[in-house]
Structure 1
Amino acid sequence: MTSVNSEKPAQDSCGYVEVTTIDHPEVIMKVEMRNEILFKAPTRVGLLADVCDALGAKGVNILAIGAYDKGGDGEFLLLTSNNRDASEALLALGGTVDFVPVVWAEMPNEPGALAKIARRIAEHGINVSQIHATTADAPTAGIVLRTDCEIDVIKMLGDL
């Protein structure tokens, strides 16, 4: 079965709809609410290669990725440069495409930076249900968070 949920403005778990960018140079360099693509398709050899080829052919950059084998299905979490084109490319592979609100934060790529963010979220009683990150030997790193209330996380991280 192939399906897609039309991408709407990011709506967090608390029901807020807002896209916010906060620049804060000490711990968080940038934080915003984004829609992450959740793509599910039957697991098979080469699925990752096909996903990456399909996105590349559409000119879509992968900003962050997580992928898992869950009970015979490949489940991909993708933050992309263009969700509309990415959705079209992924649907052509078969499977389903949905959108999930997440917090995207850019932070210094240094020891303890994520610890400060995680502690601040915990102190505010917010549960993190999912995290994945992108780093390289570069001055910044990016994290993707799915939480109980993304807007509260954005506001709170903006105060760091």
Structure 2
Amino acid sequence: MKQLSIISDNRTGVVTEITEALAAADVNIESIDAETLGEHVVVVLNVNKYDAALQAVHQLKNMRIITEDAILVKLNDEPGALAKIARRFTDAGIELRSIRFMERNSDYSLVAISTDRTANALALVADVLVPQEMPE
């Protein structure tokens, strides 16, 4: 799964600009996280049409776009499930860049994880990995 991170100066309307550009490109947002960090806004997205989304946000002015791979895992919804996965990465010396809960219900959680070494990380979580379709 590809993840888009968009960094902009902190100003009114940043999220509106991004979401309207994606809507105009017929891109569905599967998850969004927006946070103000000092003078900047960081918006992290997972979308259904990665290439179309990338094209759409590149048209926006004064925004920096960063792309990275995210691994999607399915964990039992119970105390310590995420800690066990985090421990695997720590023991292997793999840095966690981001963790996002994509879906949660009473039985399981779907979690998107970005690391500094995706190929190595995939091998560590093969038992809980959710197979992904190729992005458009």
* TM class by smaller structure: 0.7 to 0.9
Are the structure 2 counterparts of residues 52 and 101 from structure 1 closer, same or farther at C-alpha, using a change threshold of 3 Å? same
Find the partner of 1:122 among 58, 70, 90: 90
**CA-to-aligned-CA distance 1:90-140 (integer Å, 9 cap, x gap):** 233322323123323233444332122112222323221322222344644
How many residues are paired up?
Answer: 127
Aligned equivalent of 2:71: 103
Find the partner of 1:65 among 19, 24, 32: 32
Are the structure 2 counterparts of residues 106 and 54 from structure 1 closer, same or farther at C-alpha, using a change threshold of 3 Å? farther
Report the Cα distance in structure 1 between the residues aligned to 2:75 and 2:27, rounded to whole angstroms. 23
The alignment's C-alpha RMSD in Å is: 2.4
Structure possessing the higher relative contact order (Cα contacts under 8 Å, 6 or more residues apart): 1
Aligned equivalent of 1:157: 125
Structure 1: runs of 5+ lacking an equivalent: 1-33
Aligned equivalent of 1:47: 14
Q: Aligned runs of 1:30-45 on 2, under 5 Å?
A: 34-45=1-12
Report the Cα distance in structure 2 between the residues aligned to 1:82 and 1:138, rounded to whole angstroms. 29
1:155 deviates by 0.7
Residues 64 and 133 in structure 1, CA contact (< 8 A), matched pair in contact too: no
Aligned equivalent of 1:85: 52
1:77 deviates by 1.8
**CA-to-aligned-CA distance 1:47-93 (integer Å, 9 cap, x gap):** 22332233233221222322222342222221211112112322333
1:143 deviates by 2.0
Residues 30 and 47 in structure 2, CA contact (< 8 A), matched pair in contact too: yes
Structure 2: runs of 5+ lacking an equivalent: 129-136
Could you tell me which amino acid in structure 1 is paired with residue 80 of structure 2?
Answer: G
Are the structure 2 counterparts of residues 118 and 107 from structure 1 closer, same or farther at C-alpha, using a change threshold of 3 Å? same
Residues 71 and 112 in structure 2, CA contact (< 8 A), matched pair in contact too: yes
Aligned equivalent of 1:56: 23
Match of 1:135, SS state, is strand
Moved over 6 A (4+): none
